[in-house]
Structures are given as C-alpha cells and as structure tokens.
Amino acid sequence: MEGKAFYQTLNTSQRVFLTISLMVGVFMAILDTTIVDIVVPKMIAPLSTDLYGVQWVITAYMTAAATAIMLVEWLETKIGLKRVFIAGIFLFTVSSLFAGNAQNLEWMIAARIFQGFGESLIVVSAETMLFSAYAPEKRGLAMGIYGLGVSFAPALGPTLGGWIAEHIDWRWIFYINIPIGILNFLGALFFLPEYKPSHTFRLNFLSFFFLSLGTVSLLIVLSKGQQMGWFASETIGYLTFLSVGSFLLFAYSEIFSKQKLLDYSIFRIKEFVVALWVYCFVLGFSMYQVFYLLPLYFEKLKGLTTFQAGLHMLPLALAVGFFSPIAGFISDKKSDTAPLLIASVVYISFIFIFLKDFNYYTPSWTAAWLLTILGLGMGFFFAPITNLALKNLGTKTTLGVSLMHYIRFVGGSFGTALATNDLQKYTAESYERMVELQNPATAEGLLLLMQEWANMPYEKALYALQSIQTLYALSDSFEKTFLSSGLWALIGSFPIIYLLYSKTKFKPSTKERA
C-alpha cells in the first residue's frame, strides 16, 4: 500500500461508507449554522437574557470555528485526519447535549464555543478526506456531494428549525445531533480508514495566537457593530484597534519566523487564488447575505410564522441539493469553468432580474418557487469552485481547505454585517424620504377619516399610519439590500471571466496542434 494515493487504497464499499460518514458529519455541523439563527428569539426567556445578549449564541460559535480551523493542518500531521474527524464529532455531539441543557446564557455560550471548535475539525477533515478518496477524474462529483452539506444544509436550516421550534421545543435543535453524532462517531471509529499525510508540519504558536486574536476581534466587531453603533462605541473602537494590531503582529511574526504558520507558496497557484476570491465575495459577501435576508423577508415583511418561512425556503434548499451533484458530474466530464460560469450567470441574473423586486406585494409562494432558479445557481457553484481550488494543491490540500473555510467564516460575517447594516440604513432612509414627500394636509385628513370611520383614538390612528409607512419603507429596503448582494457577487465573478479568457487565449488552435 506504501506509495499509493489514498483513493487507490480504498475499495468501493470503503469509499461509499467514507462518503456517507463524512457527509453526515458535515451536514450535521453546517446545519447548525442556520438552524440556530431562526430560533434565537425563543431562547431569550429560558436563558434569562435579552435580544442583544442571546446574539452571543451565534457569535461565540462563529468565532470559535474560525479560530480553530487553522489548527487542523497541524493536528492532521500529529494524529491523522480520521482522528481529527472523530474528535470533531465527539466535541460537537457532547457540546450539543450541554447546549440543549443550558439554563443560562453563560452555559450556552460555553457549549457553543466547543460546538464551533468541533465544527471546524469536522468540515476541514471531511472535505480533505473526501477529495482525496476519489480519483482525480471523479473529484468534481465528490465535491458536488460535499456541496450538499455546504449549501443544502444552511438552506434547509430555517425549515427544520422552524418546524422543531413550533411543534416540539427549541432545545431539540441541539438534542437532534446526539443520536446522529453517537452513531456516526462509532461508525467512523471502527470503519473509517486511516488517513495521515506524509508531510510534517510544526505549528507556529505565536503566529497562530496573533491570527486568532485578530480574527476573534474582527468577528465580534462585525457581529456586534450594528447593535453598538459601530465606531460611536468605544468597545467597537478598541476591538477594531486590537484586530488591526493583531493582524499586523501576525504579519510581522510570519515575515521574521523561520517556521511559518502558512505555506505561502499556495498563493502562487492561480486556480486556488481565483477560487479563494470567488469564495470570499460570491459565497461570503453575497450568498450569506441572501441566506440571512430571505427568512427575514418572509417573517418580517410577509408576516409568516417561523415554520411557514422555513417551508417557503424549502424549494431553494431542494434545488441546491438536486443540482449540486449534477454540477460535480459536469465538472468531471467537461471542465470546472463551465458549471462555474453557469452558476455565476444564473445566480447574478436572478438577483438583478427577480430578487431585487421581491417586496411586500410579491406573492409569498411565487417568491418561494422563483427561488428554485436561485437554487440552481447556488447548486452549480460549490462543486466546481472547490474542485478548481484543490485539484493542484497536492500536500497543501488541508491548508487550502482550511483557508477556504476560514474565508467562508470571515466573508460570511462581513456579508451578514453588510445585510444588517444596509437593511436598517435603507429602511430609515426610505421612511424619512416618505415622510418628507407626504402632504401634511392629506395625512391629517387620513387620520381624521380613521378616527371617524374606524372609531380609533388619534394616537392609535397615528400609530397605524406610521406602521404602514414603516412597512413600505422595509419593503423598499429589502429590494435595495437584495440588489447590493448582487453587486458583491458581480465583483466576485470577475476572476472567473479572467480564468475563462486565459484558458481560451492560450488554448492552441487545431492547426497549431497539427
């Protein structure tokens, strides 16, 4: 077996079990990123906190996961990816039990930190092993299968979370992980093949410390900035200074250390750099905005319940799950750039043609079924971009996977912060503009009419009018924020055009080949 690639050491049954085990772990871990979001308001009373306090349930998970990701390459060389995956499943499952039993906010935050750490171990080790377990000509399909976890899971989260919250209890969004985690842990422990790459790696703890400190500070700024008033808050100012300072110290440590945390030769690989850019802007800045905005659109603007909003997200989730393996198959048979171009064109076109016009008057189920087109674009995105990023990395595969998930967390945090900020800013601007343009005499006449015909007190009539104006302002705000998410995707797609152009430009003609 020595000298053989990992995929050459596996028979069909081993490969099938490995794929199922890894994907169950990934699906369970990534599902938790959105399934929790939709039930956060229901945690306020049981955890004896407020809306601002309970947001730490999400922030703690995100910062822990982003920080731990850069440890996986070091752990890989010490204990092997099988044990890294098993450790991630163990941490995630045990912390899910503690999160479900949490009686106060501090308890929940501690559990979510360990859960986030577990997720980072799961997703990086699973993606690296899955990519390495398939022959090069089938890795697009493998990444298409992996895309089911990365894209289908967060799209399904609102539906499943809404159903659990309304029909059982919000704590079951954590308890549901326990039986799945135990079965997967035992299966992986006894049947998952060993995989320990041959290269060695020494961790630069100083660089890791500065990178972690900078990342944690940055993610807290992005998560809490809107709540605290951005740079009007001293806390946000201090954290921003700490983040910038930590990243500068990280750069200093990397420049003058003999043993670097990152192998910077990875950035000489054109396909990886292009994929990293696309992952940051298309996935992080744009798709994470859309994932964040759609449940809010159905709940806050359309007035649906949590579960109803989840049902309206289901066509999107099913479309992503259906088209992701198809994109992987095309990626293997044709090229990575063909499905990637389809994904970019469909996704961006949908935003500029349909999504930017999603407003209060758009019928709910019309919007839901139109989202299947968006699901096609998202489904065609993950397999080719991942295959493009990893196919030329060799022993740097784990580092590449770690960097892509790191940029997913950081870019996703930027995207969510942008969506939150834009939604509030555009709502305020639209409301102010609406009030400026309205005729005071007409408004007063309407208030009098409401008092006379509806028998309303003046204060109640005024509140009703302001509520209508706020609703229209929010409707206008969703349109503008959806449009902004498309602009970020447009920026992210430029390298794809460059890659297509470079491949066409340097491709020899038939006469030259002859």
Distance CA 200, CA 77 (A): 6
CB 88 within 8 A of CB 121: yes
Please compute the mean of the pLDDT values over residues 381-410 and round it to a whole number. Answer: 85
Q: How confident is the model at residue 90 (pLDDT cuts 50, 70, 90)?
A: very high
Distance CA 113, CA 111 (A): 5
- The pLDDT, as a whole number, for residue 3 is 59
Look up residue 165 and give its two tokens. Answer: 């919250």
| Helix/strand/coil for 258 | coil
* Least confident window among 26-30, 60-64, 145-149: 145-149
DSSP annotation of 230 reads G
Distance CA 435, CA 426 (A): 14
Q: How confident is the model at residue 510 (pLDDT cuts 50, 70, 90)?
A: very low
pTM for the predicted model, two decimal places: 0.84
- The pLDDT, as a whole number, for residue 60 is 84
Concatenating the DSSP letter of every residue in 366-397 gives: HHHHHHHHHHHHHHHHHHHHHHHHHTT-GGGH
- Closest by CA to 287, choosing from 475, 147, 464, 428, is 147
- Phi, psi for 482 (deg, rounded to 5): -60, -40
pLDDT of 269 over the 80 cut: yes
Q: How confident is the model at residue 514 (pLDDT cuts 50, 70, 90)?
A: very low
Distance of CA 514 to the CA centre of its chain: 48
Distance CA 255, CA 334 (A): 41
Please compute the mean of the pLDDT values over residues 107-133 and round it to a whole number. Answer: 89
Q: How confident is the model at residue 89 (pLDDT cuts 50, 70, 90)?
A: very high
Q: How confident is the model at residue 506 (pLDDT cuts 50, 70, 90)?
A: low
**Could you give the C-alpha distances from 315 to 66, 87, 355, in angstroms and in order?**
30, 34, 15
- For the beta carbon of residue 41, count every other beta carbon within 10 angstroms: 12
- Closest by CA to 33, choosing from 188, 149, 165, is 149
Distance CA 213, CA 404 (A): 19
Concatenating the DSSP letter of every residue in 219-283 gives: HHHHHHHHHHTGGGSHHHHHHHHHHHHHHHHHHHHHHH-SS-SS-GGGGG-HHHHHHHHHIIIII
- Closest by CA to 484, choosing from 224, 220, 293, is 293
Instruction: Please report the beta strands in 54-131, taking only residues with DSSP state E, as ranges in sequence order.
Output: none
Q: How confident is the model at residue 486 (pLDDT cuts 50, 70, 90)?
A: very high
- For the beta carbon of residue 356, count every other beta carbon within 10 angstroms: 18
Residues 6+ apart with CB under 8 A from 275: 385, 386, 388, 389, 404
- The pLDDT, as a whole number, for residue 152 is 72
Burial state string for 218-229 with b = 16 or more CB within 10 A and e = fewer than 16? bbbbbbbbbebe
Q: How confident is the model at residue 246 (pLDDT cuts 50, 70, 90)?
A: very high
